[in-house]
Structure 1
Amino acid sequence: MKSGKLPSDVLEKRILSSFRFKRKEVLVRSKVGEDCSVLDFGEYACVVSTDPITGASNEIGRLAVHISCNDVAANGVEPFGLLFTILAPEGTTLEVLQDIVRQAAEEAASLKVEIIGGHTEITPAVNRIVVSTTAIGRAAKDRVVTSSGAKPGDYIILTKWVGLEGTAIIAHDFEKRLRGRMDDALLESAQAMMGHISVVKEGMIAGKMGATALHDVTEGGVLGALWELAEASGVGLRIYEDKIPVRPETRTICEEFGLNPLKLISSGCMLITCRDGQGMLEALNREGIPASIIGEVVEEGRTLVSGEREEPIDPPESDELYKVQ
Structure 2
Amino acid sequence: MEIGKLPNDMLQNIILNKIKHFRNDILVRPGIGEDCCAIDFGEYSCVMSSDPITGASNEIGRLAVHVSCNDVATCGVEPLGLLVTILAPVYASEKEFDEIMGQICDTAASIGVDILGGHTEVTDAVNRFVITTTSVGKVLKDKLVVSSGANPGDDIIITKSAGIEGTAIIAHDREDFLLERLDAHDIERAKGFTGSLSVVKEGVIAGKLGASAMHDVTEGGILGAVWEVATASGLGAEIYRESIPVEDITQKICNIFDIDPLKLISSGCMLIACKNGNEMLKALEASGIKASRIGKMTEDKETFIISRGKKELVSQPGTDELYKAT
| TM-score normalised to structure 2 length | 0.99
Deviations 1:73-124, CA, capped at 9 Å, x for gaps = 0110010010001000102001101100000000001111000000000000
Query: In the alignment, what sits opposite 2:322?
Result: 321
Aligned-pair distance for 1:14? 0.8
Query: In the alignment, what sits opposite 2:38?
Result: 38
Query: Quick one: distance in 2 between partners of 1:255 and 1:138?
Result: 42
Moved more, 180-189 or 103-112: 180-189
Query: In the alignment, what sits opposite 1:212?
Result: 212
Query: Quick one: distance in 2 between partners of 1:94 and 1:180?
Result: 32
Aligned-pair distance for 1:61? 0.3
Structure 1 runs of 4+ with >4 Å offset: none
Query: Quick one: distance in 1 between partners of 2:212 and 2:172?
Result: 36
Q: Percent identity?
A: 56
Letter paired with 1:310: K
Moved more, 301-310 or 128-137: 301-310
Letter paired with 2:55: G
Letter paired with 1:97: F
Could you list the runs of 5+ residues in structure 1 that have no partner in the other structure? Answer: none
Letter paired with 2:276: D
Query: Quick one: distance in 1 between partners of 2:309 and 2:285?
Result: 31
Note if 1:60 corresponds to 2:63. no
1:149-168 → structure 2 map (5 Å cutoff): 149-168=149-168
Cα 1:152–1:21 change in 2 (3 A) is: closer
Query: Quick one: distance in 1 between partners of 2:30 and 2:56?
Result: 26
Aligned-pair distance for 1:22? 2.6
Query: In the alignment, what sits opposite 1:117?
Result: 117
Query: Quick one: distance in 2 between partners of 1:323 and 1:130?
Result: 20
> How many residues align structurally?
325
Deviations 1:215-247, CA, capped at 9 Å, x for gaps = 010000000011000011111101000000000
Aligned-pair distance for 1:322? 1.3
Deviations 1:178-203, CA, capped at 9 Å, x for gaps = 11311222111111011000000000
Query: Quick one: distance in 2 between partners of 1:240 and 1:22?
Result: 42
Query: In the alignment, what sits opposite 1:144?
Result: 144
Query: In the alignment, what sits opposite 1:239?
Result: 239
Query: Quick one: distance in 1 between partners of 2:141 and 2:100?
Result: 35
Letter paired with 1:152: P
Query: Quick one: distance in 1 between partners of 2:323 and 2:118?
Result: 27
Deviations 1:22-51, CA, capped at 9 Å, x for gaps = 311110000000010000111210000000
Query: In the alignment, what sits opposite 1:304?
Result: 305
Query: Quick one: distance in 2 between partners of 1:150 and 1:254?
Result: 31
Query: Quick one: distance in 1 between partners of 2:185 and 2:276?
Result: 38
Query: Quick one: distance in 2 between partners of 1:198 and 1:275?
Result: 24
RMSD: 0.7
Letter paired with 2:277: G
Letter paired with 2:117: G
Deviations 1:142-192, CA, capped at 9 Å, x for gaps = 111011111111100010000000000000111111113112221111110
Query: Quick one: distance in 2 between partners of 1:150 and 1:43?
Result: 24
Query: Quick one: distance in 2 between partners of 1:139 and 1:21?
Result: 23
Note if 1:127 corresponds to 2:127. yes
| TM-score normalised to structure 1 length | 0.99
Q: Secondary structure at the match of 1:106?
A: helix
1:191-210 → structure 2 map (5 Å cutoff): 191-210=191-210
Letter paired with 1:322: Y
Deviations 1:287-325, CA, capped at 9 Å, x for gaps = 110000000111113110011211111100000111222
Could you list the runs of 5+ residues in structure 2 that have no partner in the other structure? Answer: none
1:79-90 → structure 2 map (5 Å cutoff): 79-90=79-90
